[in-house]
Amino acid sequence: MKKLFVIGNKSSESLSPLIFNYWFKKYKINAKYDFLQPQNKQLNKTVTNTLKDKNVIGLNITIPYKVKIIKLIKNLNKHAKKINAVNCVINKKQPTGINTDWIGYKRSLKGLKIQKSKHIIILGYGGAAQAIHYSFVYMGYSKITVFNRTKKLIQNSKNKTYTKQYNTIHKHLPKADLLINTTPTNPISKKLSKLVRDEAVVSDIVYKPKETKFLKSFKNNKRVFGITMLLNQAAPCFKVWFGFEPKIDKKLIDKLDKKIR
């Protein structure tokens, strides 16, 4: 039996096992997907030992290890190198780290028709945010502002652009056409949320609960739920492991909805 795992410090709460095991059953694949939950000091040992198992064909990497994992995976594809974060590992002779988060977010916006001249604001700058920023750069957007608690150099930015401090966000929110929260909390107060126009699209990559505290602040806005990105980054991972892309069907979506209400 082939084995796959999601690795993170709260991976027991992940819905990835539900998604992948659903697809294995649907397509009659002899495989099992489970979670591993090492703390920071155990990450190196856990990853190394897991990848030694010949039955393990792949890993997903989640919070907070998407950047840290790079030190353990020498071979990266071009997107993972540019993003500087890995969410998927292919375990062959030479384990390879790739990134499908940027694809997942790009697909989650399908149908919204957000023009390339629009203003994008990203809250937080961890591994997932780096992938989301990259997806917009890749698609040709240029008006992207990133806010973070600590000052960080933004990957793939022109002229060494850095993240901005939250104490200046009130100047930027009224201009936002797409506001994306990539943090596990709600970094925007009720007072600040009122600065966002009703015409703006609001997105949260946290998928449980479906309607997060952040999204609850924007009842009048078009909203993009975190579960959409989770599904759309999972399908390309499945493809690199098994050679074809699985269908995201209504039955799977219904199963997930019951878990995240």
**Cβ 124 vs Cβ 181: under 8 Å:** yes
**pLDDT value of residue 162:** 95
Gap between the Cα atoms of 153 and 130, Å rounded? 11
Whether the bond between 95 and the residue before it is cis, its omega within 30 degrees of 0, is no
**What pLDDT is recorded for position 71?**
95
Residues 29, 110, single domain; the answer is no
- Average pLDDT over every residue of 8-35: 98
Residue 147: which domain range? 104-224
Instruction: Say yes or no: 120 and 213 in one domain.
Output: yes
Q: What is the CATH number of the domain that holds 192?
A: 3.40.50.720
pLDDT of residue 199 exceeding 90, the answer is yes
**In the chain, how many domains are there?**
2
Q: How far apart are CA 94 and CA 98, in angstroms?
A: 13
0.85 surpassed by pTM: yes
How much is the pLDDT for 159?
77
* Same domain flag for 129 and 167: yes
Q: Which residue pairs from 90-95 have beta carbons closer than 8 angstroms and sit at least 24 positions apart in sequence?
A: 90/57, 90/58, 90/240, 90/241, 91/51, 91/56, 91/57, 91/58, 91/59, 95/51
Does one domain contain both 13 and 124? no
C-alpha–C-alpha distance, residues 33 and 24, integer Å: 9
Which residues pair with residue 173 across a beta bridge? none
pLDDT value of position 158: 74
Task: Give tens-digit pLDDT for 109-119.
Answer: 998 999 999 99
Q: List residues with catalytic annotation.
A: 66
Relative to beta strand 88-90, strand 96-98 is antiparallel
pLDDT tens digits along 141-161: 999 999 999 999 998 887 789
